[in-house]
Amino acid sequence: MPSDQPANRRGALVPRQRDALVEAIVVPNTLWEAADPLAYGGGQPTEITHLRELELSSDARRDNGRWAATLEIIPTKADYVLDLIRANSLWPLLSGLACCAIEMMSAATSKNDMDRWGMFPFRASPRQADVLIVAGTLTTKMAGPLLRLWEQMPEPKWCVAMGDCTCSGGRYKRSYSTIEGIDRIMPVDVYVPGCPPRPEGLIYGMMKLQQLIKDRRGHWPERAIGPTVPDGV
């Protein structure tokens, strides 16, 4: 039976044999040549691909050691000044949960005027606040949103528990819908007891927080890893 294939295979689609390997494309590393001579090892050969491959001379090592000892002093003094500024410019987050929120708002009125002690008016955004005042009964459904607000606040940040319900559950302790203490889901720096506490009590608690910040005993990033939201929240 005659074949349908052409007799001359030159007209057929035959894969082309590769005579040689394709030469790799090499892009020269010009980072070290384009960089400043005093930064990133500028002027070094293009074969250098990592900063660790650079070897400093003995003079350079001696200069680096002298500068390192000097720079260790600067952050210490700067931190002291920053703590003093933070303590006198607290920006609380407006987060009232129950009846204690009425007393919290009263602390910012003209009669009490907590602004005169360096506690500025309440902020509506967690991005602009550094103090979370939890005022009122914390239910299981509010634990998740409140924790998300806490995580959205920039460091350094602090937490103030206002009222018996926030500190330990209060009158709703042992309830199926109440979390017995805000410290079960986030770190707390100052507790203000009372049912509800007076505005003067909140102002006193904020003044204690200012002292904690000045003494560097408040909430810092190493305390960010703490309790989590209970299961089922």
The pLDDT tens digits along the chain (233 residues) read 555 555 555 555 555 555 555 554 554 544 444 444 444 444 444 444 444 444 444 555 555 555 555 555 555 667 777 777 777 788 888 788 888 888 888 888 888 888 788 777 788 888 888 899 998 888 888 888 888 888 888 888 888 999 888 888 888 888 888 888 888 888 888 898 888 888 888 888 888 888 888 877 544 444 544 444 445 44
Give dist(CA 168, CA 104) in Å, integer: 18
The two three-digit tokens of residue 115, written as one number: 């602004």
- Indicate the residue type of 46: T
What per-residue confidence (pLDDT) applies to 3? 54
Closest among 208, 115, 229, 102 to 158, alpha carbons compared: 208
How far, CA to CA in Å, does 122 sit from each of 82, 92, 94, 128, 129? 21, 5, 5, 10, 8
What per-residue confidence (pLDDT) applies to 46? 45
Query: How many other CB atoms are there within 10 angstroms of residue 26's CB atom?
Result: 6
What per-residue confidence (pLDDT) applies to 105? 85
Q: Is the Cβ–Cβ distance between 32 and 46 less than 8 Å?
A: yes
Q: What is the pTM of this model?
A: 0.60
- Indicate the residue type of 72: E
Give dist(CA 47, CA 50) in Å, integer: 9
Only one residue has tokens 């949103």, namely 145
What per-residue confidence (pLDDT) applies to 35? 43
List the alpha helices (DSSP H) in the chain. 31-34, 58-71, 73-87, 100-106, 140-152, 164-168, 199-214
**Cα Rg of the chain, angstroms:** 32
Helix 73-87 to helix 199-214 angle, to the nearest 10 degrees? 170
Judged on CB neighbours under 10 Å (0-12, 13-18, 19+), 112 is middle
φ, ψ of residue 158 to 5 degrees: the values are: -140, 160
Which residues touch 155 (CB under 8 Å, ≥6 apart)? Answer: 220, 221, 224
Q: Is the Cβ–Cβ distance between 223 and 187 less than 8 Å?
A: yes
Which CATH number does the domain 88-223 belong to among 3.40.50.12280, 3.40.50.1980, 3.40.50.10860, 1.10.10.10? 3.40.50.12280
Which residues touch 4 (CB under 8 Å, ≥6 apart)? Answer: none
* Domain boundaries defined on the chain: 57-83, 88-223
Widest CA span of the chain, in angstroms? 111
